[in-house]
Homo-oligomer: A and B are copies of this chain.
Amino acid sequence: MEVGIGYFGDIDRNPAQELAEQSNAVIQNIIEQSILADKLGLDVVAIGEHHREDYAVSAPHIVLAGIATVTKKIKLMSAVNVLSSSDPVALYQAYAIIQAMSGDRGEIGMGRGSFIESFPVFGYDLKDYEILFEEKFDLLRELIKNEKVTWKGEKTPELRNIGIYPRTEKEIPLWLAVGGTPSSVLRAAKHGIPLIVAIIGGQISNFKPLFDYYKHEYIKHGHPIEKMQIGVHTHTLLLKNEEEERMYFKKYAAQMDRIGKTRAWPSYKWEQFQAGMSPDGALFMGTEQQIEEKVRYVKELFGLTRFIAHMDVGAPGEEMLLNTIHAIANIKNKIVK
């Protein structure tokens, strides 16, 4: 199993400080910590796309390009690029250049967008949520496979035998990231595309049917079982004691409430946080041993090939992130033979 770390670039907004100064520091930390993760032998750094004041990263591929040249082995994954509101040609070109700079370590995590802020930013209409993803999913795979592309879609520009450059030595790896929508799981399985599930709430065991469905459909569509890749992306943080728990709860709850405001979520409670940290809860938080047990649990339960510790929810701060990276590296060394 591959073990990695993930970031959305959360900003713990301090109104006394300039927003730009804060987001710069967040981005610089991601670079520094990715260098450390690479040195510690972690397998992946995954970075997400957001278009809000409380997140520093709107274009994960730009940060991954910056990480590409200062790391040696770690894979550079977006988790996710919101494909629906992206230009597949520009996305292909970005990763093709990342492949050249990194020795083919880039991987595109495609999502439909849990956060929908990207749609108005790039001039898209939410009523096209489904068709935008479907068309761009097909077009991106064409661009990856073929130098010259002929394409006619409803929501994407026409291409008439156009060469798209640079080319890559290997096909750029794709992952399909899902929250829990079965039709998305089916789409990934049908095309033999690796699946990564964001587990951000509820009971872990509730996700078992989703993975089973993927495996069943993946095999049914004739893809080789030995090449199957499945992953999870979970809220993860090393909390060494109750003091850290209480301190971090405030940040985590504040971020959940900021997100929940636009989604009519009730305000986030201490009891939820505690339930999340229970053995079948969705939060991979607590001591190194607690996190390790949970990673072993999901690895066995789902048959995972990739675990991503998404660490920076609510901006826990540099020290807690660094401690978590060391803990995740230790866990990897213990679990992966």
Contacts and interface: CB of A to CB of B under 8 A. Distances in A.
The complex is assembled from copies of this chain, and their number is: 2
A123 B157 contact: yes
A97 interface: yes
A61 B57 CA distance: 15
A53 interface: yes
Contact of A27 (B28, B52, B94, B100): B100
Interface stretch (A16-24, A219-227, A255-263): A16-24
Given A59-B90, A158-B123, A163 B53 contact: yes
Contact of A24 (B100, B159, B164): B100
Pairs A-B, 3 closest by C-beta atoms: A123-B157, A65-B65, A27-B100
Nearest to A59: B93
A67 B162 CA distance: 29
Given A20-B169, A89-B122, A123-B158, A94 B164 contact: no
Interface in A1-32: 18-21, 23-24, 27-28, 31
A73 interface: no
Contact of A62 (B23, B31, B93, B168): B93
Residue among A50, A62, A96, A168 with the most chain B CB within 10 A?
A: A62
Contacts of A100: 23-24, 27-28, 56
Contacts of A169: 18, 20-21, 24
Interface of A: 18-21, 23-24, 27-28, 31, 50-53, 55-59, 61-63, 65-70, 87, 89-90, 93-94, 96-101, 120-124, 147, 156-160, 162-169
Contacts of A24: 99-100, 166, 168-169
Contacts of A28: 100-101
A56 B121 contact: no
A63 B122 contact: no
A125 B67 CA distance: 36
Contact of A166 (B31, B58, B122): B58
Given A18-B169, A59-B93, 7 more contacts: A24-B166, A58-B96, A58-B166, A62-B101, A65-B66, A89-B122, A122-B157
A167 B120 CA distance: 18
A101 B27 contact: yes
A15 to B, nearest CB: 14
A168 B163 CA distance: 35
A120 B70 contact: no
A203 to B, nearest CB: 34
Contacts of A27: 97, 100-101, 166
